[in-house]
């Protein structure tokens, strides 16, 4: 008998990866694209339980906070051209900053647990493990130190480009602190600034990397 907590379904296998992840809210994915061993696109239903690894108290608190805000429809913008012709940018919520760059200010959240540093950092596409640090107070930074791809999969994206599945990796990728209960500055200052840079680099699509 397994001691693992119950899980509502299976997470699709992406390019033979065994990594598992969770999303910011309990999310039903009715049509999830996945690549099988022959690099053919498959589709399968799945359910991700984002509260799986929380204790009972924390789970109830997070579910309560999640229910306070009414659900909104997700914006959808279809691609204007095939994926093999698209330039892709990654946006990671792991609060990553280059070793030579200004770190995120974690003291902001320590003084006010409802708010965090609303700024962002640019991570060039040739960045490798060991060249960045994670400043997210709710994430174990050891994982990023061991393998940057678990929080910003630059190598995996480069492999997809080499396989011809994706057109190109953008010159710049981005990271922010994926925790705040007051997101106004993040939404009205940080996001427009990132979008502006993406337009300048002719980015066609974005992959969001939650942690």
Q: What's the CA gap between 172 and 19, in Å, rounded?
A: 24
pLDDT of residue 46: 55
pLDDT of residue 102: 95
Q: What's the CA gap between 75 and 68, in Å, rounded?
A: 20
pLDDT of residue 71: 72
**Cβ distance 201 to 208 under 8 Å?**
no
The Cα-based distances of 39 to 48, 81, 125 in angstroms read 23, 20, 24
**79 CB-side CA count, 13 A:** 14
pLDDT of residue 195: 96
Residue 91: both structure tokens together: 């946006």
pLDDT of residue 185: 94
DSSP letter assigned to residue 73: P
How confident is the model over 170-190, as pLDDT tens digits? Answer: 999 999 999 888 899 999 999
pLDDT in tens, the chain (211 residues): 444 444 333 333 333 333 333 333 333 333 333 333 444 444 444 566 767 767 788 778 777 777 777 777 877 788 889 999 999 999 999 999 999 999 999 999 999 988 999 999 999 999 999 999 999 998 889 999 999 999 999 999 999 999 999 999 999 999 999 988 889 999 999 999 999 999 999 999 999 999 8
Tokens 């659900």 locate to 71
Q: What's the CA gap between 107 and 101, in Å, rounded?
A: 17
**Cβ distance 113 to 180 under 8 Å?**
no
pLDDT of residue 68: 72
How confident is the model over 62-95, as pLDDT tens digits? Answer: 777 777 777 778 777 888 899 999 999 999 999 9
């Amino acid at each position: 008998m397994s001691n693992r907590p119950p899980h509502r379904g299976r997470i699709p296998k992406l390019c033979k990866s065994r990594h598992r992840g969770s999303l910011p809210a309990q999310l039903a994915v009715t049509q999830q694209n996945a690549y099988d061993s022959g690099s053919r696109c498959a589709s399968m239903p799945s359910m991700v339980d984002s509260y799986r690894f929380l204790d009972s108290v924390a789970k109830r608190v997070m579910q309560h906070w999640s229910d306070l805000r009414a659900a909104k429809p997700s914006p959808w913008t279809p691609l204007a051209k095939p994926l093999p012709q698209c330039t892709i940018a990654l946006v990671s919520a792991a609060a990553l900053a280059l070793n030579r760059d200004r770190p995120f200010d974690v003291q902001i959240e320590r003084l006010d647990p409802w708010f965090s540093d609303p700024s962002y950092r640019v991570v060039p596409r040739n960045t490798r493990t060991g060249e960045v640090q994670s400043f997210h107070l709710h994430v174990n930074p050891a994982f990023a130190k061991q393998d940057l791809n678990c929080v910003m999969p630059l190598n995996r994206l480069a492999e997809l480009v080499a396989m011809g599945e994706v057109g190109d990796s953008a010159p710049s990728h981005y990271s922010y602190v994926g925790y705040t209960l007051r997101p106004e500055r993040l939404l009205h200052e940080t996001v427009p600034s990132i979008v502006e840079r993406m337009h300048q680099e002719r980015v066609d699509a974005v992959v969001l990397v939650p942690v």
